[in-house]
Amino acid sequence: MTLKFNRNQLRAYFVCGTQDVPGANLETVVQSALDAGITAYQYRDKGTSQLTPNERLALGRQLHQRCAAANVPFIVDDDVELALALNADGIHVGQKDDRVTTVLQRVAGQMFVGLSCSTLAEVAIANQIRGIAYIGSGPIFPTTSKADADPVVGLAGLKQLVARSQRPIVAIGGITESQLRPVAATGVAGSAVISMIARSTDMPRTVGAMLTATAFQS
């Protein structure tokens, strides 16, 4: 049974694949993040990942089980076939990937759908599309996690996107612990991070800071 979407799932959103934790075990990293209290996990295995499609599927099954045990939504990045094969709770789609309308038709209510939007024009279009659960906006700050990242949005730009969007927004891109409160002050539902959690020396503290930043919204 898949988890239904709610805004609070965006408060401490962890995005990670094998390419983000070189030399480490992704299952172990994700379990530590779940134990620390993350509210959503996105399986984004691509780029320099060395996994074969079968390995990616097998690992996804293990990660989904861990998320389900923690009652945390398991979200797949970009790949509709993989998301369906894993019976994911959600799928996240970028502007450059399959058109979100096509994805919505393919998943047909089986899972919730998130969409990346970095401009007011993209948000305005998303507002007109029924079925989108949330918006991912960024990069808020410069990031090294994505080679093809869009231009930096910044805090002022993020606040404008939040004001325009009819769906909750999760901020992503270059966010550090010291920036969590300024990001939250824009009205976003939460922050999505890769390295801030993956490279944390104290995950409970890091995830706790993410939850505290948005506590006033709960």
Task: Determine if residue 145 is labeled as part of a ligand binding site.
Answer: yes
146 is catalytic: yes
77 is in an annotated binding site: yes
Q: Which of 44, 66, 164, 167 is catalytic?
A: 44
Question: Known catalytic residue: 164?
Answer: no
Three-state SS string over the chain comes to CCCCCCHHHHCEEEEECHHHCCCCCHHHHHHHHHHHCCCEEEECCCCCCCCCHHHHHHHHHHHHHHHHHCCCCEEEECCHHHHHHCCCCEEEECCCCCCHHHHHHHHCCCCEEEEECCCHHHHHHHHCCCCEEEEEECCCCCCCCCCCCCCCCHHHHHHHHHHHCCCCEEEECCCCHHHHHHHHCCCCCEEEECHHHHCCCCHHHHHHHHHHHCHHHC
- Indicate if 116 belongs to the active site: yes
Q: Is 212 flagged in the annotation as binding?
A: no
Question: Which of the following is catalytic: 32, 106, 146, 159?
Answer: 146
Q: Is 41 annotated as a binding residue?
A: no
Is 144 annotated among the ligand-binding residues?
yes
Check 11, 56, 66, 116 and give the catalytic one. Answer: 116
Is 143 annotated for ligand binding?
yes
Is 43 among the annotated ligand-binding positions? yes
Residue 9 marked as a ligand binder: no
The binding site for Mg(2+) consists of 78, 97
Catalytic residue annotation: 44, 116, 146
The binding site consists of 42-46, 77-78, 97, 116, 143-146, 174, 194-195
